[in-house]
Amino acid sequence: MAPVASAAQEPEAAEPPTEVAPDAEAAPGPEPAVEVQPAEPATEVAPGLEPAVEVQPAELATEVAPEPAPAAAAEPAEVEPGPEPAAAEAVVVGGPEAEVAEPAVGTTDLFADDLLGELLETPVLPPPPETPARKLRKGVARTMMAIGLALGLFVILYAIDLIVSAGDVPRGVTVAGIEVGGLSHADAEAKLRRELEPRLIRPVVVHGGDVQAELVPSRSGLGLDWPNTLGLAGHQPLSPITRIMSFFSSREVGVATRTDERQITEAVRQLAQGRLDHPATEGAVGFRPVPGSDGGVDPYPVLPRQGQQLLDLAGAVHAVTEHWLDPGGVRLAMAITPVKATAAGVQAAYQQIVVPAVAKPVVVHGQGKDVPLKPDAIAASFQFAAVEGGAVEVRIDQGKLQGALKEPLAGTETDGKDAQIVFTGDQPAVEPSEDARKVNWEKTFLPLIDVLKKTDGRDLPVVYSASKPGVTTDAASALGIKEVIGEFTTGGLAGPAATNNRTLADRVSGAIVKPGETFSLGGRSGPRTADNGYVPAPVGEDGTGATVVGGGVSQLASTLYNAGYLAGLTDAGHLEHDQYLDRYPAGRDAKAVNADGSPVELKLTNDAPTGIAIQAVVSGDSVTVRIWGTRHYRVEGQTGAQTPGAPPPVQFGSGTPGPCQPSIGSPGFSVTDTRVLYDAASGAEVRRTSHTATYGPRPTVLC
């Protein structure tokens, strides 16, 4: 009997799991044996399936067993797993298909026992190790499966969320701080109306820098557009990312406002100008009067405050329109003006200087008089200035302190007095000058800061300064005033004009004019008012013209001009009368009052090397002026011929209050006067001057 070679052949098509053992080695000796290596302890064939391998009868070469009859195809046996291995099946190679042969009926059990023993003794080989590529493929497969499952679950959840929230306000939406996301439009509008309508009647809080103010919506053109408010929320987003983020965030959409642009713009402008805008305050100290006290004050610090101003009106209107229903109100951007002072600097000035300064009055000791400087006067004089570094300086306005003390201390001062030339009889005498004593305010207030810091001994002595008069006694005595060098007298004085001329003469008499100086009649007399002794009188010396206070004093002016003319004084400015008066030489008169009552200046210059003094006397109806000094010139006057002017007009009525007085008029004319000065010692001509005067006609008055 030929030996049987055993080999394992892999089936061509994939079959149910039947593992074929590796090739069995041929048994030594004449009787070959087939050795089967089991791959698994047991092979389980699923019921209902056709066997994967058809078992064919095999011819076994053995001397003991006769050739068995062919066996029918064996039914597949279900192998139950257990600790004992199933009977080994021999795989016969040689036919077109591998067949499993069962032991022939009637053969001895010896062969079967040996075969079973070999199968049991053969060790079970471990499965071959997995390669890295196989591990990678298995890992990728698992990952892709997990991703697929996750994506599928996500799509399902996304679809459910989209379907459930269809028609609702998008999730996470807030309107004016009110959460309406996820609600239906009807519920959202109801919630907004419930929570926002009370706000529509409440004032809108507006924050501008460091100021908080209010706007009344109904007066500011603000209203709510309900339909468009929810429309601002938009529709349900389709983006998955947006929908996921809506679970963790909110989106403020504000409200749709219905506004009156003109009204809201004007309301914001008035709010800015009236409440929000304010200038910078550098810091200071304020004072409150203490009731019932004598000038007591209560100081308090005024902390620095930066200035601010609303510049962008359009931006402010937009901010109010967008945020007027926000719970926190509206915040407006302001232009800021910084300050230098700090709160610490203000507190230092307040505590260290101001508080002790106004705690008590300061006693000011004048010449023979004490005056209290009260706390309210001290406080009024304080000025505060911020400096670099944040400090606040306290300065004193001496002018305000001087105003508080000047009147009480006026009696301690004396006015200076120039030396005067007085006339006793016909001889001049020098009246001594007096020095002036005035308060030196600057030196008086110099130690005031140190005095104000004291709690006791708050005394301030007054410092006086003496000033010399313009003309001292010695200077007047050395002027050479010893004789009359010019004198002139005019008459016809009558009525209230006499009072005015007498008042003016008293002021002019005794005046001293040093060499090179100019005498001013207006400067010497001062304002011609009722307070200075003048009374109403006609402007003209002859009683004509309007009645004014100080009228008629042109007679003293003309008399003074002629006395100066004869004394050799230089004419520094004068005006002749509008109409000629025969009480004065033609071309040698001067008026002191215009027709409307306004003053006219008369000036005379002393160009001699010695001084002069003026003596004016009003007696009866005449006015006399004498110029005293040292004679240097001999004076001659030459009056030229008159040149006729306009004829006299006819006037009906006097034109003034009172009874009408008819008069005969006179024509106007012009005349030139020439003055020649000769040296008194040598007789030589020194200079010659001419002046032309023009007079208007005097009207004929008919009553």
The β-bridge partners of 487 are 626
Q: What pLDDT digit, counting tens, does each position of 419-447 carry?
A: 888 887 778 888 899 999 999 999 999 99
pLDDT band at 199; cut points 50, 70, 90: confident
Rounded Cα distance between 620 and 622, Å, is 6
Q: Assess whether pLDDT exceeds 80 at residue 66.
A: no
- And the tokens for 134? 């196989």
Q: What pLDDT digit, counting tens, does each position of 639-684 carry?
A: 999 999 999 999 888 766 667 878 888 999 999 999 999 999 999 9
DSSP state of 292: T
DSSP state of 666: B
Q: Assess whether pLDDT exceeds 50 at residue 42.
A: no
To the nearest whole percent, how much of the chain has pLDDT over 70? 76
Residues 40 and 119 in one domain: yes
Residues 186 and 116 in one domain: no
Residues 113 and 214 in one domain: no
677 phi, psi to nearest 5 deg: -105, 130
Task: Specify if 523 maps to a domain.
Answer: yes
The number of beta carbons lying within 10 Å of the beta carbon of residue 406 is: 12
- Residues counted in the chain: 703
Q: Assess whether pLDDT exceeds 50 at residue 396.
A: yes
Task: Specify if 616 maps to a domain.
Answer: yes
Residue 243 or residue 588, greater confidence: 588
Task: Specify if 650 maps to a domain.
Answer: yes
Q: What number is the average pLDDT over the span 368-379?
A: 96
- pLDDT score at 165: 53
Point out the domain boundary residue: 265, 289, 309: 309
Which segments of 520-623 does DSSP mark as H helices, in order? 521-525, 554-567
Task: Specify if 401 maps to a domain.
Answer: no
Q: Of 533, 572, 654, 562, give the one whose Cα is nearest residue 554.
A: 562
184 phi, psi to nearest 5 deg: -70, 160
Point out the domain boundary residue: 92, 126, 160: 126
Q: Of 603, 578, 574, give the one whose Cα is nearest residue 590.
A: 574
Residue 275 or residue 422, greater confidence: 275
Residues 599 and 497 in one domain: yes
Residues 637 and 488 in one domain: yes
Instruction: State the burial class of residue 8 (Cβ atoms within 10 Å of its Cβ: 0-12, 13-18, 19+).
Output: middle
DSSP state of 561: H
DSSP state of 276: I
Residues 203 and 91 in one domain: no
Residues 610 and 492 in one domain: yes
Task: Specify if 182 maps to a domain.
Answer: yes
C-beta of residue 509 within 8 angstroms of C-beta of residue 525: no
Q: Assess whether pLDDT exceeds 50 at residue 476.
A: yes
Please state the pTM of the whole predicted model: 0.47
Q: Which residue type is seen at 336? A: I
Rounded Cα distance between 267 and 261, Å, is 10
Point out the domain boundary residue: 126, 161, 186: 126
- And the tokens for 656? 């003034």
Q: Assess whether pLDDT exceeds 60 at residue 320.
A: yes
Residues 217 and 88 in one domain: no
Task: Specify if 154 maps to a domain.
Answer: no
- And the tokens for 152? 């599928």
Is residue 661 classed as helix, strand or coil in its secondary structure?
coil
**Across the chain, what does the average pLDDT equal?**
81
pLDDT band at 245; cut points 50, 70, 90: low
Residues 248 and 183 in one domain: yes
Residues 609 and 549 in one domain: yes
* CA distances to 178, 179, 225, 321, 396 from 188, in Å: 10, 9, 14, 22, 68
Task: Specify if 537 maps to a domain.
Answer: yes
- pLDDT score at 52: 39
Residues 580 and 665 in one domain: yes
Rounded Cα distance between 196 and 188, Å, is 12
Q: Of 14, 39, 28, 126, give the one whose Cα is nearest residue 91.
A: 39
C-beta of residue 451 within 8 angstroms of C-beta of residue 407: no
What is the 3-class SS of 129-146, one letter each residue? CCCHHHHHHHHHHHHHHH
Q: What pLDDT digit, counting tens, does each position of 539-566 carry?
A: 999 888 899 999 999 999 999 999 999 9
Domain range holding 604? 479-702
- pLDDT score at 607: 94
- pLDDT score at 296: 96
Residues 516 and 646 in one domain: yes
- pLDDT score at 379: 97
Q: How many domains does the chain have?
A: 3
pLDDT band at 111; cut points 50, 70, 90: low
Rounded Cα distance between 572 and 603, Å, is 5
474's CB contacts (< 8 A; 6+ apart) are none
Task: Specify if 33 maps to a domain.
Answer: yes
